[in-house]
Structure 1
Amino acid sequence: MNSPKFYLYFFSIVIITLGCKDTSKKSESVTFVPTATIDSTQLETVSLSEQENEEKFQLTEDNAIDFFFNYEKTLNSNKVKITTNLGSFTVELYDNVPYHRANFIYLTRKGYFNYTQFHRVVKDFIIQGGNSDDRKTGKKRADIGRYLLPPDTRKGHKHDRGTISMPSSEMDNPHMLASPFEFFIVVTDPGSYHLDDEYTPFGRVIEGMDIVDKINNQPVGEGDWPMQNIYIEKAEVVE
Structure 2
Amino acid sequence: MYIQKLKYPVLLLYLFFLGCGEAPKERPETPQATVTRDSLKEATKVTQEKDSTSMEVAEKPFELTEENAIDFFFDYQKGLPTTRVKLTTSLGSFTVELYDNVPYHKANFIYLTKKGYFNNTMFHRVVKDFIIQGGNADNLETARKRKEIGRYLLPPDTRKGHRHHRGTISMPSSEIDNPHMLASPYEFFIVVTDPGSYHLDGNYTPFGRVVEGMDVVDLINQQPVDDGDWPSKNIYIKKAEILK
TM-score normalised by the chain length of structure 2: 0.79
Q: 1:119 aligns with which of 118, 124, 138?
A: 124
Q: Is the 8 A contact 2:173 2:204 kept in 1?
A: yes
Q: Is the 8 A contact 1:83 1:235 kept in 2?
A: yes
Tell me which amino acid in the other structure corresponds to 2:167: G
d(CA) in 2 for partners of 1:69 and 1:52?
27
Q: Which has the higher helix share?
A: 1
d(CA) in 2 for partners of 1:46 and 1:114?
33
d(CA) in 2 for partners of 1:94 and 1:155?
10
In structure 2, the CA distance between the partners of 1:45 and 1:87, relative to structure 1 (3 Å rule), is farther
* SS class of match (1:222): coil
Q: Is the 8 A contact 2:84 2:95 kept in 1?
A: yes
Backbone CA RMSD of aligned residues: 3.1
Tell me which amino acid in the other structure corresponds to 1:134: N
* SS class of match (2:77): helix
How far 1:222 sits from its partner (Å)? 1.7
How far 1:78 sits from its partner (Å)? 1.0
d(CA) in 1 for partners of 2:74 and 2:109?
13
Q: 1:100 aligns with which of 86, 95, 105?
A: 105
In structure 2, the CA distance between the partners of 1:209 and 1:60, relative to structure 1 (3 Å rule), is same
Q: 1:177 aligns with which of 162, 182, 186?
A: 182
d(CA) in 2 for partners of 1:48 and 1:132?
36
Q: How does 1:27-176 map to 2 (within 5 A)?
A: 27=35, 35=44, 38=45, 46=52, 56-176=61-181
Tell me which amino acid in the other structure corresponds to 1:221: D
* SS class of match (2:142): helix
How far 1:129 sits from its partner (Å)? 0.1
d(CA) in 2 for partners of 1:51 and 1:207?
44
Instruction: Give the unaligned 5+ runs of structure 1.
Output: 1-20
Q: 2:219 aligns with which of 206, 214, 217?
A: 214
Q: Is the 8 A contact 2:82 2:100 kept in 1?
A: no
d(CA) in 1 for partners of 2:116 and 2:58?
18
How far 1:180 sits from its partner (Å)? 0.1
Find the counterpart in structure 2 of residue 15 from structure 1: none
Task: Could you list the structure 1 runs, at least 4 aligned residues long, displaced by more than 3 angstroms after superposition.
Answer: 23-27, 41-53
* SS class of match (1:56): coil
Larger radius of gyration: 2
Please, which moves more after superposition, 91-100 or 76-85? 76-85
How far 1:77 sits from its partner (Å)? 4.6
Deviations 1:150-173 (A, max 9, x none): 000000000000000000000111
How many positions carry a matched residue from both structures? 215
In structure 2, the CA distance between the partners of 1:232 and 1:45, relative to structure 1 (3 Å rule), is farther
Q: Is the 8 A contact 1:77 1:237 kept in 2?
A: no
